[in-house]
Amino acid sequence: MNLSFLEIGTKYTRPELAERWGYSSHHAIGKGVVTPQGEKVVILFVTRIKQEALTQYEDALSGDLLFWEGQEKHGTDDRVIGAQKAGDEVHLFYREIHHSPFEYKGRVLLLSYQRGTDSSSRFVFRLEHDQGAADDLERFRSEIDAVPEVTEREELRKARVGQGRFRKLLLERWGSRCAVTGVSMPAVLMASHIKPWRCAGNAERLDPNNGLLLLPQYDKLFDKGYVSFDAGGGLMVSPALPEDRFDLLGIRAEARLARLVPEHQPFLSFHRDRVFIHREEDA
């Protein structure tokens, strides 16, 4: 099974993966655990919010930890538990809600498990790559180190954590106000990349057109794909975010960006297509 084309943080549908892996139908990889015959690999397809008709396993991703329930009939428990000893790699595809593409999270390592008898076994995995700032900077270290100018290298690193020149330019562009709410509290406003830093080229990482100044709640929801913005700047809310959470999270369904320039559009389009959690048939 060829995994070399997979990129951490990129979303894939089951039909797309089935075609790349030579299966005649995506139903061949329709289960939560896929163990290709003769391969030293275990593939986990994990969905947090499942269809009501399906078994409601309690699965969730929190930071760099995956909490996962095994299959009811325990058919793959031994394979998962013995993977490391057998030299098998366990790879994770994760999505927040059914009928949406899976995000490839890379390899995961088993930390602990509790075998079930009358119930499913429970597992805790750690992601090899958590896609946090430190992880991104380490993954792309050679790319950044190849930049000739020392000051430019430092600015690229600072931009990953929303600091340096990138933040300064966003504060100037948005008048030190949240791009959505207009709240002027520079100390708490976050310099958010629209096209994520890990997906962007070096010029895009420092481009203020690829940035929004946001209050923390909007920054986190935007970063995780729970919200995005349409071409007119209107807020788009993912079906993975229940409406009864809006007030608790401090967001408004009618919210919109205070202003847009044409240069924002390609970055917003990327976010809608590749980051935003949307539903898609046969995903």
Give dist(CA 194, CA 267) in Å, integer.
6
Q: Residues 6 or more apart from 189 whose CB is under 8 A from it?
A: 171, 176, 177, 178, 183, 213, 214, 215
Q: What is the largest CA-CA distance in the chain?
A: 61
Fold for the domain defined by 11-126: PUA domain-like (2.30.280)
- State pLDDT tens for residues 180-192: 999 999 999 999 9
Q: What are the phi and psi torsion angles at 123 (to 5°)? A: -130, 150
Higher pLDDT, 271 or 242: 271
Residue 282 has pLDDT above 70, yes or no: no
Cα(142)–Cα(151) distance, rounded to whole angstroms?
Answer: 16
The domain limits of the chain are 11-126, 142-275
How much of the chain exceeds pLDDT 70, in percent?
99
Flag whether pLDDT at 100 surpasses 70: yes
The helix-helix angle for 150-160 and 164-173 (nearest 10°) equals 60
- Give which of 131, 134, 7, 121 is closest to 67, Cα–Cα: 121
Residue-level pLDDT at 37:
87
